[in-house]
Structures are given as C-alpha cells and as structure tokens.
C-alpha cells in the first residue's frame, strides 16, 4: 500500500494525537508531544515528525521513543 523503506513506522505518516488543552501534538504515544501553533493548526507536520520521516526515508530509526518499535520488529511482532 505504501512504498516505504524498512525501517518505517506508518504512525509518522498517518497518525497524530492532538492535545488541544496543552497545544501539543504527537505522532505516537511513545514519543514526546511537540508544541503546535493554533494559528495555522499544522499539527501533523511538526518539525519533529518531519525529521523522523526523513530519517526513516534514509533507512534509520528516528529514536526518541521509537526504540520500542525496533525491538518489537526484531523479535517478530507483527503489530507493536
């Protein structure tokens, strides 16, 4: 469906949790939320998410909480 290299976490492309009361957003519950601007409300393309996507496109894990996913994939879990 998606032509992403390994390693890749689809949450970085498909998922965002927005914490309106805190003005923060996160692409995964395992990574720290980032501040967002309510002016433009671009909560899906935060600097951290963009950097994580670039790293995955280069074949690297972004770290900062994604290590859990790496471990799960290494031991063969289909859904981590």
Q: Parse the chain into domains and list their residue ranges.
A: 11-74
The whole-number average pLDDT for the span 34-60 is 85
Considering the chain, what is the average pLDDT of its residues?
76
23 pLDDT above the threshold of 90: yes
68 pLDDT above the threshold of 70: no
Confidence bin at 22 (pLDDT 50/70/90):
very high
What's the pLDDT at 38?
Answer: 82
Residue 7 near residue 70, CB atoms below 8 Å? yes
Omega cis (within 30) before 35? no
Quote the pTM value: 0.67
Helix (H) or strand (E) holding 52: helix 47-57
């Amino acid at each position: 469906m998606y032509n992403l290299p390994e390693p890749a976490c689809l949450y970085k492309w498909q998922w965002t949790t927005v914490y309106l009361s805190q003005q923060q957003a996160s692409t995964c519950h395992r990574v720290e939320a980032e501040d967002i601007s309510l002016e433009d409300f671009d909560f899906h393309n935060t600097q951290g998410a963009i950097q994580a996507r670039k790293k995955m496109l280069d074949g690297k894990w972004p770290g900062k909480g994604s290590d859990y996913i790496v471990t799960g994939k290494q031991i063969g879990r289909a859904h981590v």
